[in-house]
Chain A
Amino acid sequence: MAERQILIIDDDRHLLLGLAARLRGSGYRVICATDAASGITLARKETPDLIILDLGLPRDEGFDVLEQMRGLREISAIPVIVLTARDPVTNDKLALEAGAVAFFQKPPDNGEFLSAIRHTLGEPTGLSTFLRT
């Protein structure tokens, strides 16, 4: 299977650096954007297999971005995992209702996060990795 591509949209450059390194180390191709507009443009152009989205983007309210992406035919099928510093209480439900497939609060546990990604991409997740508790 060809390498999967992941798009990370987050305005924190350090996070992009660190997370991209980890994802590449796990065998994914990674592209990045630091705001919603360029993120969406990139998504339309590259049609990644997965988008990791921060909610606290400049000028854009995170949920609005999600909804926007749902509305665009070309990219509405791309699964989105939300990665944010915000409190999961109520926010996770909101994110899922807005169309995200998963919600993670920063900093996410590497193992769990990778499992979620793998799973979303339809890859075998392996027994113990997904077993949370």
Chain B
Amino acid sequence: MTLDSFGRVQASERLPILFPITAPHGRNSADKNNEIELSPTMRADLLDLDAWGEILTTYGKTMKMAVALTDSDGHVLGKCHNPQPVWTMVHAAARDWTGCPFCISSSSPCTAVTESLRVGGVVRVRDLAGLTHVAVPLFVGKQHLGAIIAGQVFDQYPDPLPLRRVAKEFGISAQDLWDIARMQRPVTSAIQQASADLLYALGQAFVQQRYGAILEASLADTNGSFRLLVDGVRDHALFTIDPSGRVTSWNVGAERMFGYTDGDIVGENFSCMFSPEDIQNRVPQKQLNKALQTGRIEDEGWRIRANQIQFWADVNITVLWEERGTVRGFAVIVQDVTERKKIVIVLEEARQERARIQEKLLSHVSHELRTPLTAIYLFITNVLDGLLGDLNPEQHEHLTLALENVQQLKSMVGDLLDITRVQAHKLTVVPQRVSLAKLTADVLSTCRTNAALKNIGLLSEIAPDVPVVWADPVRLRQVLTNLIDNGIKFTPEHGVVTVRCKVYAEEKGFVCISVSDTGCGIGPENCEIVFERLAQVSSNSRASRSGLGLGLFISRDLVLRQGGRIWLESQLGRGSTFYLTVPVFSLAKLCDHIFTPPNLESGSVTLIVVDVDSIEEAVQAELVPEIRNVLERCIHPGQDTLLPAMSDAKSSESFFIVACADAKGYAVIAQRIARELQAFDNASRLNPVISSTTLPLAPGQSREAQTLEILASIERLIRDHLVGKKGDSDG
């Protein structure tokens, strides 16, 4: 610390901050991120004179010095405690006293306070009369609060010269001043220094304490408001739990909902609100863990009240984090939504009942319609086929048209049934290997009459590399017919409808079929709607024998069931193109449901091959469906699989049955097949090759490995079987 005379201040050493001011909850307010701006109210509170008064008075009396509290600009707050005689005499005589209140100076009072705040440490000053005083800064964090000035004492035996000057300056008797001065006991520098240090520490501690108290009060206030809020919520349970699940706070709403009072539940684990099964399955802990991962979870489930009654709850659990990143606990909000759930359940049951009734109705209607439809069909066809005599051309034409309408009715009735199956998710597809070239050719030929009526051309473009697909031929036919009919319907006279098949570039393992027309198109915004049930986008076409408008809805379901997708791209005035994808045939996919772990574990997988290749093609064509029927009857549905032509050779249809049976079962099946096949006329020409491959799981072999092995042996059997066949004729 350096001294100075004549009021000039020199920087003193910066005293270390001994007690950094900390706010409650361990936050260091010196940290600028957390510093609270001192409001004028807070300042006033921190510098409350009544509170300081006692400290200052005691200090002054003990140290035998004058002491005063000032603001950051050096203005005394309140009064000067224990003023010293010399100062008092001069002060009384002075007319105007500006600047530092303790300085006896004529023109330039010290700026000790400001300086002490600036350097953050004690500053000591000697004034004109030789008296010394110190300024001790008061801070809150980095914010200047004020200062304490203490002194008005000599630090050595007074020097008469400066005193005489002062007396003259202020118009006081020099002798009187000297007498007073001599009587003042000096306080040594050392003591003054020590006392200043003490004052600094005292000041800081006191400010700290007051600051803490202010924050506590404000927090209590906030807490109080929060508490009011939480307690005011009566319909939601709001409570907090510690990290292990013990309840730490409980609101009125929670008490109303669960029936536990504050006293009952605080300290208990919140798992008591869960059902016994949930507790057994560790659901409460799982929920807390999940909340920790994402910060917050929402859940619906059963909860139990104190009286053991269950209710359906909507629960929100939010994690409460500490400053340091540890978990303080969780905040839980629970809503009783039992009523809502009851409504949901009832609505769902009503919906299902409605769906059931609707299905029964449609099923019944479709069933009933078939009887008169059959009669009409029989009578018309009987006459049309000449069974009741010849017809003139006009009669023929009329009846032909009548028959067309019957066919339409028939397909509408079929649609009705399909629609209920779609809704009940009962539409079935029975996939098999299908050659698209053949199927599209067939479909186009059936649509030709329809197209011819409007002079619309039907074209097909099948890419040469299109592989065999895995689809239900009847259903695929149904879908394609539907799409082509749509194309024809929406295309004006002399337009063109084109069917294309090619490998689908965007997705491996699929073939893309498209049906394009040169018609009026529909807006892109309608491209989704057309697949909705009963959505008939209006058309300008005359020939709108539209049926029930269910075609696309059913088609979409069928395509999806086969594992593909269907969509429409269209533009008004530019025509439309329907796209659908169909999965490519793959042996692995096919055998999936056979090579299941239980099947493989239960024993061997038996492979039976029936060869029809050795007979002439003409007879083959007739026999093939028959053999299929026989084999279908011999194998056990659900367990065995009928695999039609495994090879790419178009002409042959060698049947393989992959059967899950043990050795005994295999013998039985083989016998049955052989016997059934003998019933055929041309069966004697058949050469059934009944082979089997038995592959029990080898020790240490995985199921996946065994599956691959079995598939490989099937491939081998196929290869062996078909090796040496004569070249393909066009199938």
Which residues does A use to contact B, with CB under 8 Å?
12, 14-15, 17-19, 21-22, 25, 85-87, 89, 93, 96, 105-108, 110, 119, 122, 125, 127, 130-133
Contacts and interface: CB of A to CB of B under 8 A. Distances in A.
Contacts, number: 78
Contact of B374 (A86, A89, A107, A127): A107
A73 to B, nearest CB: 21
A132 B367 contact: no
A15 B367 contact: no
A25 B382 contact: yes
Interface stretch (B80-88, B177-185, B541-549, B617-625): B617-625
A110 B380 CA distance: 12
Contacts of B621: 127, 131
Contact of B387 (A25, A105, A132): A25
A112 B267 CA distance: 80
A108 B410 CA distance: 10
Interface of B: 363, 367-368, 370-375, 377-379, 381-382, 385, 387-388, 406, 410, 417, 421, 426, 428, 439, 442, 473-474, 477, 618, 621-622, 625-626, 633, 637, 681
B381 A12 contact: no
B377 A107 contact: yes
B625 A127 contact: no
A118 to B, nearest CB: 12
Contacts of A130: 622, 625
23 contacts: A14-B372, A15-B378, A17-B378, A17-B379, A19-B378, A21-B382, A21-B387, A21-B388, A22-B378, A87-B367, A87-B417, A89-B421, A89-B426, A96-B633, A106-B371, A106-B374, A107-B374, A108-B374, A110-B385, A122-B681, A130-B622, A131-B621, A131-B625
B200 to A, nearest CB: 96
A114 to B, nearest CB: 11
B387 A85 contact: no
Contact of A133 (B370, B373, B474): B474
Contact of B382 (A22, A96, A127): A22
Given A25-B387, A87-B367, 4 more contacts: A18-B377, A18-B382, A21-B387, A87-B363
Contacts of A133: 439, 442, 473-474, 477
A89 B381 CA distance: 27
Contacts of B428: 89
A58 B377 CA distance: 23
A97 B681 CA distance: 24
A96 B618 CA distance: 28
A14 B625 contact: no
A106 B375 CA distance: 9
Contacts of B426: 89
Chain A CB count within 10 A is highest, among B367, B371, B428, B477, for: B371
B375 A18 contact: yes
Closest 9 CB pairs of A and B: A18-B378, A14-B375, A85-B370, A107-B374, A25-B387, A106-B374, A107-B377, A106-B370, A85-B367
A86 B367 contact: yes
A22 B381 contact: yes
Given A127-B621, A130-B622, A93 B374 contact: no
A18 B379 contact: yes
A107 B373 contact: yes
Q: Among B378, B388, B477, B618, which residue has the most Cβ atoms of chain A within 10 A?
A: B378
